[in-house]
Structure 1
Amino acid sequence: MASHSRSQESNLTDENILISHDRLYKIDQLREKNIGKYLPLPQLVAVGDQSSGKSSLLETVTGIPFPRGQELCTRYATQITHRRDHDSFISVSIIPGPRASAKHKEAVESYFRQVSDSSQLQAQFPAILDEVNTCMGIRTPRNPTGQYTFSEDVLKIEKCGPYEDYLTVIDVPGIFRTTTEGVTSENDKVMVRNMVIEYIKDPRTIILAVLPANVDVATQEILALAEEYDKAGERTLGVLTKPDLLKERSAKRSVCGLVLGNRKPLNLGYYIVRNRGGDDDEDDSELSTRESLFRQRPWCDLPDERVGVRALRSRLQELLGEITDQAFPIIRTELRDMLMKSQADLDALGASRKTPQEQRQYMAGIAAKFQHLMRAALDADYSRDKAFDDGDLRLVTRIVNFTEWFEYTFRNSSQTYSFVKQKGVDEDVDMESEPPKGSDFTTLNAPEYTELKQLVVEDLTTNPPMNGIMDWIDDISRNFRGITLGTVTPSMLSSAFRGQSVKWEIITKQYMSLVIVAVHRFIDKGLVTVCKCPIVRQRVGATIVTQLLTAYTSAMKQAMLLVEIETQRKPYTINHYFNDNMQKLRGSKMMDQLTPHAQRIEMTANNEVTQFVRLDKIPSVAENKSNAQYAREEIHDILKAYYTVAAKRFVDYVYFLAVDHCLLSGPDSPLLLFSEQWVLGLDDKKLASIAGENQQITDRRARLTKKVQDLKDAIDIL
């Protein structure tokens, strides 16, 4: 039974290893396609100073025999990959840097060499590195015409075979503090440091901090740099090299303290290895002889799993498998999300717009979308598009709210003087004295639209009507009296109505300003909705702004014309409500006059109380008024009856003739300006100035197209 359990556990372990190896291979394919420039990939990166023994460590761990006496490989990152395969071979290729030009990329991607084993690679490696440096443009004694000292390109060495365990380690150039005249410069020093940072800052990178054992770790810049980007120390593994150079027992004990975690501890700990020398071979017997050092004190007191190349290699494979298994599902999700966003950004640019036909099709499509959005906004059909979540795009709703404010303000504040209230006449007005919800406008909120500043008014406050209308009417009647049989002349009524309606102009301007800004904001935000390219959007706006202002000005003039017609002409109406209002006013006034003369009779049958006035009392009540008193009351009543009819008529006319006809649904509405017909009317030169692509858009489309394809390839790989 125990044997069966162990067999099951072994099978599960083998299965997990296969899964990890498969995922590691996929991650390596992503790295080869430069997906790492879009999102961090799981990787092991060896970093250290130039004198840390980093290159020797990589040779020891990977078995790749780098030429001695040459530091050519340290001019660029080197990715060393072990992969299990039916055939045994070692291939050498170049992965272009993330910012490589198309020409350079084509040149380096074409480079490929393959050898059968390590011995053949060792023999050919110096010549291969010369070819690589030439291809990358690295300046060396053998390639003095090279342009660069260091490169962002990556040398990829892949070692395959039936017995290879999967392991990928990236070696980056070593940090150096002093420059060498004629070889390296201050710029090179900064570039290498930035290159190291680019690799170690990614949260999915395991940092192999290579530190010589004969140097105090506190002085090692690479460890301080690792601590800066891995503050918790969860991604940094310390590798101590050159233990054979330690002679003093105190120094050896100090290094043992690091490995045991007694000094400057790291979550992943420290390992200690002895690299092969320049004359050492690569076989197991040489490795055993070299690591016999660790059988001596104090090294023999260290745990076996922290000492030697085999222990380090095993731990690196384990770490790489762990971070890959953890990151794999997250990377897939991130790639999908990134692809969706990149595709959306690419779609927003639209199709290529190099020819007039392409430009016209692009613009006509945007214009059609805008008109569709506009029709939905005027129909209050907000379910068509999520864009209507923005209240500024709910155009007709906003205008209805503004119109209710206009009507309420007119009913309550448009009079210069408050009319005298009378029973039976003003009850309906009193019942509607509450302002409509959402109509507390005091300031026009449009500071971003400076082009409207000369057209609209910003202050939306209105003063309430004043008291003292009868005294004011007295002044009018005295100043406009003429020789006539009647007490009220037409000039008195005209003058009274002009004075009473003097605020109509400003209130109408306030209303029109609200509507104009709402329409302008709808066009502005509507363009943002249908046209994702900010440059084209800005060009469209700049092209139509003059025509928009013309339409807005025409609407405002129409409204002001209505104000002039209503307030500056002789009062006149055939609306029967005028007579109704007059009858109500006179009836109410007669009731007020007769009430003091009324007598009460109680009807005993049904307990009702009835009032009556004797007919002979009526003439005396009507005769008790002077001409002046009668005139002012008559002017007041006519003015009030006419004002009510004229104000309601005016509010309707302003909406229908100035707002709806001029700004919303009429043939010259600014909402109809940006249309397919407008696009078709543009000549090729004007069309190109609006929809033509500048180099910035062309480059952005090329980058996004490549990114989308890269991400699709990456998702296919995963």
Structure 2
Amino acid sequence: MGIRTNPQAKGGKVFTEDILKIEICGPRADYLTVIDVPGIFRNPTEGITTKDDMALVRNMVIDYIKDTRTIILAVLPCNVDIANQEILTLAEEYDKKGERTLGILTKPDLVPEPSAKDTICSIVEAKKKQLTLGYYVVRSRGADQDDEGYGSRESMFLVKPWSRLPRARVGVQALRARLGELLGVMAKREFPKMRKDVNDMLRKVEEERDNLGPSRKDEYEQRVFLSSIAGKFQDLVRAGLEAQYTHHPVFDDSKLRLITQVVGLTDVFNHDFTRKAALRNFINRSSQGTELDFPRINFSGNILEEFPELDDIIKCDHEAQYPLDGIMGWIKDLYLSSRGMGLGAVSDVVLASAWREQSKKWPDITHAFMSKIIASIHRFLTSALELCCTDSSVREALWDTLQEDVLLRYKSTISFLNYLLAVERDNKPYTLNRFFNQSRQEAHANRVADNLRDVATTQGCGGSLIKPDDYRVSLAQIKKSTQTKSNLEDVAERLHDDLYSYYEVAQKRFIDNVWTQVVSHRLLDGPETPLNVFTQEWVISLSSEQLKMIAGESASVREQRLMLDRKIEDLKEAKKILT
């Protein structure tokens, strides 16, 4: 305890808040705790006590006497001025009714003057400095005496003036009887509150032990423990993918509403990709100005600050811009810079070059979308694991083990996405989709119709009831409209229509493939989804060393569990006693 026992020695403490506990057990021992606190003093002694010691002792006394279950034994020597003792002032402050303050006057043998003895007797007789419970006079044994001689020591109370005092107020036996009676009264009064306090303490300690989780002292218990967590985790995964939020109150947290976030992000991706993914606007097909008719998912905060482990996987700083204008001038320049020998027909080389250039924004837009999907899944994984595993040390060890596989699956997904992008953009444009030819023919027909609209006539079309397609042109006008174009204009228009028709086919195909093959199959539902890295089957496959590393209890946790178990047993025993 670091207390200085030699007054001449240097260092060490004179007073301490540490408790030296001596426990006496036996069939006739009472359930009684006596706390002997240091006496309050007002002036420090140079080289021995300090002002800090004064404050420490006073605060220590107050901490004990303010407890309503404590009987305050105000022990006062008979040879001091009782009226000036601070302990009586403190007792009066914390025991205003005086129901638990008992005065004990000691060392009566050190009072030689008859007047002083008479004063002490007057106090015991409640004539002076009255206490509700009154005063008792006892003569304690000296340092070199034992308990056997208390009878001879107390023979002094048989002579005057002590003999005039009531026998119930003199001696150790009288004090002991009064304390027993007082303890019984207080116990009856405090029993209901004590029972409630013991129940509250028991519930709190049991909750504290439950927070440690089940015992994990061997491989079997460790595997059962982790399997239970994995089962709860997969329940959250299924609910998160099937939008079964009402069955789990934890889904009030939006981070756990996984499929809702993924579908929302995919809708935004489809909408933005359709409007912004082309490098240049096709003629009469500007996508600007179209508004989104559903809310966007808010990805606030820096995702890489939250999950630095995703640094080489995701890119969240890309914002796609609207397509540029002037596509016909660009197509003409591309044709003139890439054409070879021929009669002017559109070559596959020029179309392939135009296609690759027109789709050059696809990788950035798609990677930004995939980054948000991966971030949503990663947030779900970490949040769900935190809910299922309350032990932070186990959770950290578990996540450290799982994280490598999770990141590998993300990287595999990104690699597959790059494969899809390469398939779409690096090969020569070709499709078996009938929409391509249909779209190209419609584009050519619409272009001819636009050229003839200014020279068409409505004569003979039915008077005032003219439909938009009822205009008439002559064969000569048709010939003239197709003969006046230059070779460059004709080739550029054909290249534009081929590029537009193929772009429409490829864009729809690519968006669907990103959803079905990348998001759905690889990240959500397929066999390699990161959502199934933590399963009961995975737990079964762990080796003994891996189990111990993840779920084994540390020495401090085992010690804490044993301490809490002992405390629970003690409180249960106390509960029986109070029943």
TM-score (norm 2): 0.73
Alignment CA distance shift 1:533-1:471 (3 Å): same
2:296 is matched by which residue type in structure 1? G
The equivalent of 2:216 in structure 1 is 352
Structure-2 change in CA distance of 1:288 and 1:234 (3 Å): closer
2:323 matched to 1:465? yes
CA 185–351 in structure 1, closer or farther in 2 if over 3 Å, else same: farther
Identity of aligned residues (%): 28
1:144-543, aligned counterparts within 5 Å?
157=30, 171-175=35-39, 196=61, 199=64, 208=72, 210=74, 214=81, 220=86, 273-278=134-139, 279=154, 287-288=165-166, 327=193, 331=197, 334-335=200-201, 337-338=203-204, 341-342=207-208, 344-346=210-212, 349-354=213-218, 356-422=219-285, 433-434=291-292, 436-441=294-299, 445-543=303-401
Contact 2:265-2:297 within 8 A present in 1 as well: yes
Which of 452, 456, 474 lines up with 1:615 in the alignment? 474
Q: Distance between the aligned counterparts of 2:491 and 2:97, measured in 1?
A: 97
CA RMSD of aligned residues (A): 4.9
Distance 1:531 1:245, change over 3 A: farther
Q: CA deviation at 1:559?
A: 0.8
Q: Deviations over 1:228-270 (max 9, x none)?
A: xx7x98999877787997999xxx9xxx9998xxxxxxxxxx7
* Post-superposition offset of 1:410: 1.0
Give distance in 2, aligned partners of 1:236 and 1:619: 121
Give per-residue Cα distances to partners, 1:593-622, cap 9 Å, x unaligned. 232223346988985566412233222223
Question: Relative to 1, partners in 2 of residues 1:450 and 1:234: Cα closer, same or farther, differing over 3 Å?
Answer: farther
**Among candidates 537, 540, 543, match of residue 683 of structure 1:** 543
Secondary structure of the equivalent of 1:275? strand
Q: CA deviation at 1:698?
A: 0.7
* Separation in structure 1 between the aligned mates of residue 375 and residue 303 of structure 2, nearest angstrom: 8
Q: 1:215 to 1:443 in 2, by over 3 A?
A: same
Cα pair distance change 1:345/1:625, threshold 3 Å: same
Partner of 2:145: none
Query: 1:592 deviation in Å?
Result: 2.6
Asked if structure 1 preserves the Cα contact closer than 8 Å seen for 2:255 and 2:379, the reply is: yes
Does residue 663 (structure 1) correspond to residue 523 (structure 2)? The answer is yes
What is the rounded CA distance, in whole Å, between the counterparts of 1:477 and 1:555 in structure 2? Answer: 37
Map of 2:4 onto structure 1: none
User: Which sections of structure 1, spanning at least 5 residues, go unmatched?
Assistant: 1-73, 78-95, 98-103, 115-155, 159-167, 260-269, 292-309
Alignment of 1:535-614 (within 5 A): 535-600=393-458, 611-614=470-473
Q: 1:285 to 1:257 in 2, by over 3 A?
A: closer
Cα 1:332–1:697 shift into 2, 3 Å: closer
**Does the aligned pair in 2 maintain the 1:444–1:457 contact within 8 Å?**
no
Deviation at 1:377, TM superposition (A): 2.5
Q: 2-side partners of 1:195 and 1:365: how far apart?
A: 48
Richer in strand (by share): 1
Provide the C-alpha distance between the structure 1 equivalents of 2:304 and 2:117, rounded to a whole number of angstroms. Answer: 76
Q: CA deviation at 1:549?
A: 1.7
Letter in 2 for 1:345: N
- Offset from partner CA, 1:276-312 (integer Å, 9 cap, x none): 2535759x98555999xxxxxxxxxxxxxxxxxx999
AA in 2 matched with 1:532:
T
TM-fit CA distance, 1:643: 1.7
- 1:367 offset after TM fit, Å? 2.6
Q: 1:194 to 1:467 in 2, by over 3 A?
A: farther
Residue 357 of structure 1 deviates from its aligned partner by 2.9
Trace 1:622-661 onto structure 2 (pairs within 5 A). 622-661=482-521
Question: Could you say which residue in structure 1 is the equivalent of 2:7?
Answer: none
| 1:382-412 deviation line (CA, Å, top 9, x unaligned) | 3443333332223222222222222122112
**Could you tell me how far 1:550 is from its partner in structure 2?**
1.4
Instruction: Point out where structure 2 has 5 or more consecutive residues left out of the alignment.
Output: 1-15, 107-114, 140-153, 170-176
**Quick check: 1:377–1:394 contact (8 Å CA) kept in 2?**
yes
Q: Distance in 2 between matches of 1:580 and 1:169?
A: 99
Distance of aligned partners of 1:607 and 1:257 in 2 relative to their CA distance in 1, 3 Å threshold: farther
Distance, in Å, in 1 between the alignment partners of 2:300 and 2:216 is 47
Q: Could you say if the C-alpha distance between residues 235 and 281 of structure 1 is closer, same or farther in structure 2, counting changes exceeding 3 Å?
A: closer
Deviations 1:157-211 (A, max 9, x none): 45xxxxxxxxx88644234559999x99999999867764654576x55684949
Q: In the comparison of the two structures, how many residue pairs are matched? A: 520
Q: Which amino acid aligns with 1:637?
A: D
- Distance between the aligned counterparts of 1:490 and 1:200, measured in 2? 98
8 Å contact from structure 1 (residues 407, 651) kept in 2: yes
* Corresponding residue SS for 2:350: helix
Q: Is the 1:408–1:436 contact (alpha carbons within 8 Å) kept by the matching residues of 2?
A: no
Q: 1:664 to 1:257 in 2, by over 3 A?
A: farther
Provide the TM-score with structure 1 as the length reference: 0.60
Give me the whole-angstrom Cα distance separating, in 2, the residues matched to 1:372 and 1:664. 15
* Alpha-carbon distance in 1 for matches of 2:97, 2:352: 89
Q: Using the TM superposition, give the Cα deviation of residue 499 of structure 1 relative to its aligned residue in structure 2, in angstroms.
A: 1.5
Secondary structure at the aligned position of 1:438 is classed as coil
The answer to which of 531-540 and 384-393 deviates more is: 384-393
Q: 1:679 to 1:312 in 2, by over 3 A?
A: closer
Cα separation, partners in 2 of 1:488 and 1:663, compared to 1, 3 Å? same
Instruction: Give the residue type in structure 1 aligned to 2:237.
Output: M
1:670 is displaced (CA, Å) by 2.3
Distance 1:403 1:708, change over 3 A: farther
Amino acid at match of 1:352: R
Is the partner of 2:305 in helix, strand or coil?
coil
Q: How does 1:106-145 map to 2 (within 5 A)?
A: 108=23, 111-112=25-26, 114=28
* Alpha-carbon distance change, 372 to 208 in structure 1, aligned in 2, over 3 angstroms: same
- The separation in 1 between residues aligned to 2:362 and 2:40, in whole angstroms, is 81
Q: Kindly tell me: are residues 465 and 171 of structure 1, through their superposed partners in 2, closer, same or farther at Cα, counting changes over 3 Å?
A: same
Is the contact made by 1:342 and 1:707 (CA closer than 8 Å) also made in structure 2? no
1:625 is paired with a residue whose SS is coil
- CA–CA distance in 2 between the matches of 1:198 and 1:274? 23
Q: How far is the alpha carbon of 1:689 from its aligned partner?
A: 1.9
Q: Contact 2:209 / 2:561 at 8 angstroms: preserved in 1?
A: no
Q: Distance in 2 between matches of 1:221 and 1:471?
A: 102
